[in-house]
Amino acid sequence: MTSPDATRAKIVTAAADLFTRRGVRAVGINELWRAAEVAKSTLYQHFRSKDELVAAVLRRRNDEWCARLRTLAAAASTPEEQLLAIFDLLGQEFADPSYRGSDLVNVAAEYPDPDHPVRVAIRDHKREILRYLAELATAAEEAHPEKVAAILLTLADGAACVRVSVGDQGAAALAREAASRLLAHR
């Protein structure tokens, strides 16, 4: 017998795959329970609505992405390299030929209401990244750590857009170079 946590994780995994490949709005609830290989009632036992499931997928993606960023930053040799680790992570993602952009940004485009729970989950993710980058900027003795964090996140999100719209797998390296130059001229 499968535990409730394992069933929930199975549903989130199946949903994440479908949402990444097709977009949130294009995936129906019937596809979700079938892909997860659970009964429809089981899906609803774990998630009261599709939006609740979308938010759970985004929270999991946030946790995974932030953990990967922290691991890369921790392995960096200098405070500046720790700040630039975000671009190294993006470079890894951009090397995947199937990369379709940030799941969070893609989903945000499907939910225009800024107060929708899905948009709140996305905003929470971006705020977590900003807090972490600000911590790294403080450790690097940057004069304005919050501003440095915002600049780095803007460059990272811009690189993701360039990767998707132009197909440039080197966009993360270009953004890293720009960030490095900005940090050097503080």
Rounded to two decimals, the pTM is 0.87
Superfamily of domain 1-48: Homeodomain-like (1.10.10.60)
Q: Do domains 1-48 and 51-184 have the same CATH topology?
A: no
Write down the pLDDT at residue 186.
Answer: 64
* CATH entry 2.60.40.420 includes domain 51-184: no
Q: Cα 28 vs. chain centroid, distance in angstroms?
A: 23
Which residues lie closer than 8 Å to 164 by C-beta, 6 or more apart?
99, 100, 101
- The residue extents of the domains of the chain are 1-48, 51-184
Q: What is the pLDDT of residues 41-89, one digit of tens each?
A: 999 999 999 999 999 999 999 999 999 999 999 999 999 999 999 999 9
Round to the nearest angstrom and report the end-to-end CA distance of the chain: 58
Q: What is the pLDDT of residues 142-180, one digit of tens each?
A: 999 999 999 999 999 999 999 999 999 999 999 999 999
Q: What is the pLDDT of residues 79-137, one digit of tens each?
A: 999 999 999 999 999 999 988 888 888 888 888 899 998 999 999 999 999 999 999 99
Q: How far apart are CA 114 and CA 150, in angstroms?
A: 19
List Cβ<8 Å contacts ≥24 apart for 144-150: 148/83, 148/183
